[in-house]
Amino acid sequence: MVKVDGSGGNASLIKVRDLDKTYRRGGEEIHVLQGLNLDVDAGEFIAFMGPSGSGKTTLLNLLGGLDVPTRGSITVAGDEITHMSASRLTEWRARHVGFIFQMYNLIPVLTAFQNVELPLLLTKLSKAERRDHVETALSVVGLADRMTHFPRQLSGGQEQRVTIARAIVSDPTFLLCDEPTGDLDRKSADEIMALIEELVGKHSKTVLMVTHDAVVAERANTTLHLDKGVLVEGLQSGPRLTTVGGHA
């Protein structure tokens, strides 16, 4: 279940209350997010949409502990992350979040295997255990036969699948995707979306995705619109303005 009015109970996996984020740019204050609320249960697949500059990526960064809000609280699986120290936040991120970026961001000098292994290096797993996890993750994304290839030897779609494998290899609490298909052709984009749907459907992952592509957004179970700091719920029949606590 997904709620944007702050009325979700304590059973939510992700709970956001009164989130504010303000930037200073050239003397001016820009309020990107203003009093945002969000409740997400485990297993949900949400697409965030909105025009550029609306703060979608900012929201994702805050949820993933990459950034700190100006005001408000974010609680994930019972952990309140907004007041964590930088080092604790780093540890938390390693255990709970899987990132999938638009630009793949694979390390070009490491093989697919080594790239996927990267998050596991932060754990105390033995080499054999790590190998196990990596091979599993790569099988899930269907690239087990490309383990020893370097990113430059893979197509765009394959690179993105390696990124997904890296994101799921440490079994994080939820996945954050920022325009995962933005750089791909239609066919590869379809394959990636099918994979993500599989992760949600078959493996019960929680996925929060930012996209500007309506076709991609349709794959998600819920679509939320972010428009100048305000979260709006969009129903299948089109967006309906519902207040989101704060400014209408």
Shortest reach from residue 3's CB to another protein, in Å: 27
Question: Contact positions toward another protein, by CB under 8 A?
Answer: 57, 61, 64, 66-67, 86-87, 90-91, 93-95, 99, 101-103, 105, 107-110, 114, 118-119, 121-122, 127, 166
Q: Which is nearer to another protein, 3 or 31 (CB)?
A: 31
Tokens representing residue 85 in the block: 């120290």
Region at 168 (left for phi over 0; alpha for psi -120 to 50; beta for the rest): alpha
Nearer to another protein, 123 or 242 (CB): 123
Nearer to another protein, 3 or 101 (CB): 101
Nearest-angstrom CA–CA distance, 213 and 111 = 31
Task: Work out how close the CB of 216 gets to another protein at its nearest, in angstroms, rounded to a whole number.
Answer: 19
In the complex, least distance from residue 144 CB atom to another protein, rounded to whole angstroms = 21
CA-to-CA distance for 228 and 240, rounded, in angstroms? 16
Least distance from another protein to the Cβ atom of residue 192, Å:
18
CB of 129 to another protein, least distance (A): 12
Please tell me the distance from the alpha carbon of residue 124 to that of residue 155, in angstroms, as a whole number: 32
Concatenate the DSSP letters of all residues of 40-53 into one string.
E-TT-EEEEE--TT
The DSSP code for 244 is -
For another protein, the closer CB: 35 or 64: 64
Half-sphere exposure of 41 (CA within 13 A, CB side): 10
Of the two residues 54 and 57, which places its CB atom closer to another protein in the complex? 57
